[in-house]
Amino acid sequence: MRIKNLLFITAIGLFIYIVSITAIGCAQIGAPTGGPRDSIAPILVSAAPKLMATNFTGNKITLTFDEYINVLDVQKNVLVSPFPKKSPIIDYKLRTVNIKLLDTLLPNTTYAINFGNGIVDNNEGNPFKEFTYVFSTGKTIDSLQLSGTVLLAETGRADSTLLALLYNNANDSSVEKRKPNYIAKLNARGHFTFTNLPEGDYRLYALKDGNGSKTYDSKLETFAFLNEDVVVAGPRDSVLLYAYEEEKEKKKPTVAVPAPKTAVDKKLRYVSSVSSSAPQGLLNDSLQIRFNNKLKIFDTTKIILTDSNYNKINTSSISLDSTRKIVTIINKWPEDTYYRLIITKDAVSDSANVLISKTDTIHFKSKKVAEYGTLKLRFIKIDLTKHPVIQFIKNSEIIKSVKVTGPEWNDKLMEPSEYELRILYDANNNGIWDPGNYSKKLQPEKALTLDKKLTIKANFDNEREVEL
């Protein structure tokens, strides 16, 4: 009996051991959870000299935080006002930011070092948002502010890459010759604020500083100005500036790689705005023929528009543009109608007297009215004395531009698509947007892009109220 009991107890022990080993082998091994993500920004514990210090005489500033920190992209994030000739040296270690001023400080002047969102904690990158260290070399801290908004005149949109520039003791040429006294960044809405300003008269500008000079030294730069001084003496309304480029940057010509001599094409060729393989024409558009070379000979009598039965259509007009490469055929196109455009072999030739290879016929068909949408716009509070122009924008290009002459406008042949709507106030009534000119103190024409896009549906009455 004792032997049997011993064997039974031993068997039970072995079973428990095997179960224990199996359980350990099947257990999942993982790192312990670390709790919720740190979302708290660093906290400034101390500053030496203290924040808002007066009678400042040194050149070193130390900021101490409650946790390890980083300072991101000093040149991009940090702005010093008044703007220094030499930027300060800013470094950091563990919980401390050290600032060494290299400029000789002006007497009785309030300085502000704005870090933007450049100070972040070391673990999660939480920013100490828009922190500004302020001190004064005089007995008091200047506390006046100047706020404003900069919009792009051509679109009415904001561009946060511009800088607002503020000058004191300035004349008209100061913005072209020297750096500003104060600089402020724009937010996504184009808004800026200058803080800790002394009372006085200022010149205000905005600039997209392409070369880092902080001066308006190129007509290709986006620029804005006010025609009058800004008086800073107390609370005042926000200032509005409209930015423009006086000259558009020309696209650099691509360097053509010489083709092998055997690949040189000396033939006179063309493409049309309609295709015989996919015939279609727009009821409200002209038909265009684009040649690869300038035309020396252009005989309109040998370019013939006919119906499907080869009956000549005499109501059309045919013209050649100033580049002598584009031929335009204008006609009133009845809907759902077949046409033929016949270009005889000797209708055109280029400067080398090369003709097209053979007489050609382009087959195409005008669209049905049902393939278009109708549009009626009703304008609320529109000022016709400002010569408003309604512009339809698609993929950043103006597809259609129409002068507004009354409270309503309609079109029965709108191409189905999604458009942005823009109102241009065409001061000189020439139908296009015109930039400003700083030397003539001429402000740019102003435009407004509406927030809500316009969707045109085919065979549908589309209506929209436009309130300005």
Pairing of strands 239-243, 144-152: parallel
Angle at 338 between CA 336 and CA 343, to 5 degrees: 145
Q: Which residues have CB under 8 Å from 156's CB, separation 6+?
A: 422, 446, 447, 448, 449
Q: What is the pLDDT of residue 17?
A: 47
Give domain 371-467's CATH superfamily. Carboxypeptidase-like, regulatory domain (2.60.40.1120)
Is 60 exceeded by the pLDDT of residue 433?
A: yes
Considering only 53-62, 267-276, 398-407, which range has the smallest mean pLDDT?
267-276
Considering only 38-42, 116-120, 160-164, which range has the smallest mean pLDDT?
38-42
pLDDT-based confidence at residue 31 (cuts at 50, 70, 90): very low
Q: What is the pLDDT of residue 254?
A: 55
| Percent of the chain surpassing pLDDT 70 | 87
Is 70 exceeded by the pLDDT of residue 74?
A: yes
- 193 versus 260: the higher-pLDDT residue is 193
Mean pLDDT (the chain) is: 87
pLDDT-based confidence at residue 258 (cuts at 50, 70, 90): low
* Secondary structure in 3-state letters for 177-245: HCCCCEEEECCCCCEEEEEEECCEEEEEEEECCCCCCCCCCCCCCCEEECCCCEEECCCCCCEEEEEEC
pLDDT-based confidence at residue 281 (cuts at 50, 70, 90): low
Is 70 exceeded by the pLDDT of residue 253?
A: no
Q: Specify whether the CB–CB gap between 159 and 120 falls below 8 A.
A: no
Q: What is the pLDDT of residue 135?
A: 97
Nearest CA among 354, 297, 352 for reference residue 327: 297
Identical topology for domains 144-243 and 371-467: yes
pLDDT-based confidence at residue 468 (cuts at 50, 70, 90): confident
Which CATH number, 3.40.630.30, 2.40.33.10, 3.40.50.980, 2.60.40.1220, labels domain 44-136? 2.60.40.1220
Q: What is the pLDDT of residue 236?
A: 83
DSSP letter for each residue of 373-400: EEEEEEEES--GGG-EEEEEEETTEEEE
Q: What is the pLDDT of residue 260?
A: 53
Nearest CA among 174, 72, 179, 79 for reference residue 128: 72
The highest-level CATH class for domain 265-367 is: mainly beta
Is 60 exceeded by the pLDDT of residue 353?
A: yes
Q: What is the pLDDT of residues 75-117, one digit of tens each?
A: 889 999 999 989 999 999 999 999 999 999 999 999 999 999 9
Q: What is the pLDDT of residue 284?
A: 72
Is 70 exceeded by the pLDDT of residue 280?
A: no
* Tokens encoding 379: 């304008």
Give mean pLDDT, residues 337-343: 91
Give mean pLDDT, residues 36-57: 91
Q: What is the pLDDT of residue 68?
A: 95
Domain boundaries, the chain: 44-136, 144-243, 265-367, 371-467
Give mean pLDDT, residues 121-126: 90
Q: What is the pLDDT of residue 185?
A: 94
Q: What is the pLDDT of residue 348?
A: 93
Q: What is the CATH number of domain 144-243?
A: 2.60.40.1120
Q: How far apart are CA 154 and CA 143, in angstroms?
A: 35
Q: How far is Cα of residue 94 from the mean position of the Cα atoms in its chain?
A: 38
Q: What is the pLDDT of residue 285?
A: 77
pTM: 0.76
Q: What is the pLDDT of residues 383-419, one digit of tens each?
A: 999 999 999 999 989 989 999 999 999 998 898 999 9
Q: How far apart are CA 78 and CA 87, in angstroms?
A: 10
Q: What is the pLDDT of residue 282?
A: 64
Q: Which residues are registered as beta bridge partners of 338?
A: 365
Q: What is the pLDDT of residue 334?
A: 87
Considering only 4-13, 211-220, 423-432, which range has the smallest mean pLDDT?
4-13
Q: Look at the block and give the residue holding tokens 């040998």.
A: 302
Q: What is the pLDDT of residues 150-166, one digit of tens each?
A: 999 999 999 999 999 99
